[in-house]
Structure 1
Amino acid sequence: MIAMISKYSFYFGERIIHKFFNKLVIVFIIFFLSNCAIGPNHGAIYTDIRYPGEFNIDNQVLGSKSGQACQYMLFGLITVGDSSAGGIARKFGILRLATIDYRFRGIFYPVYGQFCTEVTGE
């Protein structure tokens, strides 16, 4: 009788560990595969990076005006915002673009992420 109880308890414990391991693997796959979506690199806990976009080398456009707009993401499920260069130029009255740069901030990405576009021009 005692052998039967220990046999079943071992099986039950093994199932719990197996289920936990499967869930852990799925969480790691989602976490690590979603980190390669934006920007050149990310930290797992906190990220705050800027990286260059485009600039206008044909025209001598001064960067006298600037504007910024961002998109926000929560839990990899909800993303809101408009960070388009055209929308920023329209909003801040920029007629000719000089530079377009990007910034990404993330806290435990993909739990929270902020992607911003910064535009300068005249």
Structure 2
Amino acid sequence: MDQLSQEDRPRIHPTGSKSHLIEDEFISQRAWSPLQLFVAKVGIVAGAILLVVFVTFAYLTAAIDTRLEAFRGGPAFWVTVEQRLHKMADEPDMPAEKKEAILKSLRKLSAKYRPYIDALNGH
């Protein structure tokens, strides 16, 4: 009987059990070619870029969706308006001096732009 070289013999599991033969097909000592290594690296980088783009897109979509919720029509719009109205009604009133300053500024703006508004209305 001819003897098998060390490489040709089936390898036996370190526990010595013959039922756990490790075949040479699963243990590859062969190094990757430069092309295979390049393709693997490109795949890893492309996968990482796609993952980052996907996560960023999902985050931005959720953030934009929550910001634009008040601008939607229908029930979502009116619920937001009602909530903000209640919030504003419960806030403390501003000082009288500040109110008067705001009213004074509004009267100035009204007087300044009244001729243009009257012209647009046909008066």
State TM-score, norm by structure 2: 0.35
Structure of higher CA gyration radius: 2
User: Which protein, 1 or 2, shows the higher relative CO under an 8 Å CA cutoff with sep ≥ 6?
Assistant: 1
More helix by share: 2
More strand by share: 1
